[in-house]
């Protein structure tokens, strides 16, 4: 009976010990997935822009079209530069969000651990007090039985 209780207590401690790590791993995997998806979308946009400009270059047939192509290239380069800046800011924002979530998870895990330690200490103190009551009450009852005999 006591061994079952000890085993159950150990199993519960193991579960509670690994729970924060599972949460942190889940956060990391979710973040990695979001970043990878974002980067793949950005790479596709950049590649599509490159292919579109390459197709436009093949359609240049006159000096006027070459001039228009050159002007458009400058516009596209400016747009692409702005898009890269926006993408960098978005990645930084994603990183800050991840940092915030990790800090919260660490804080929650620390609070949970502190609560469990406090609870265990309280239970241990209560058990010690109960044991002390039992040990002081037994000799008194044994003494009263001895007097009655």
Q: Classify each residue of 84-112 as buried b or exposed e, where b means 16 or more C-beta atoms within 10 Å of its C-beta.
A: eeebeeeeeeeeeebeebeeebeeebeee
Higher pLDDT pick, 146 / 45: 45
Query: Any idea which residue has 């579109």 for tokens?
Result: 52
Percent of the chain with pLDDT over 90: 52
pLDDT, mean of residues 7-33: 84
Lowest mean pLDDT: which of 69-73, 95-99, 106-110?
106-110
* Average pLDDT, rounded, for the chain: 85
CB of 101 within 8 A of CB of 27?
A: yes
Asked if residue 47 has pLDDT above 90, the reply is: yes
Higher pLDDT pick, 127 / 26: 26
Q: Measured between alpha carbons, how far is 41 from 33 in angstroms, rounded to an integer?
A: 12
Summarize pLDDT for 100-146 with one digit per residue, the tens.
999 998 888 888 778 777 777 777 677 676 666 766 655 555 555 55
- 33 band by pLDDT with thresholds 50, 70 and 90: very high
Ramachandran category for residue 60: left, alpha or beta (phi over 0 → left; psi -120 to 50 → alpha): beta
Asked if residue 83 has pLDDT above 70, the reply is: yes
């Amino acid at each position: 009976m006591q061994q079952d209780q000890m085993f159950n207590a150990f199993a519960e401690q193991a579960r509670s010990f690994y729970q924060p790590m599972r949460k942190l791993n889940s956060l990391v995997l979710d973040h990695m997935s979001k970043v990878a998806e974002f980067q793949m979308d950005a790479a596709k946009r950049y590649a599509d822009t490159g292919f579109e400009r390459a197709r436009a270059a093949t359609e240049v047939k006159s000096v006027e079209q070459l001039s228009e192509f050159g002007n458009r290239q400058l516009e596209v380069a400016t747009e692409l530069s702005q898009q890269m800046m926006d993408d960098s800011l978005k990645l930084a924002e994603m990183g800050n969000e991840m940092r915030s979530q990790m800090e919260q998870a660490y804080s929650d895990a620390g609070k949970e651990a502190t609560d469990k330690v406090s609870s265990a200490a309280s239970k241990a103190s209560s058990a010690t007090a109960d044991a002390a009551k039992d040990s002081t009450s037994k000799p008194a009852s044994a003494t009263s039985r001895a007097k009655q005999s």
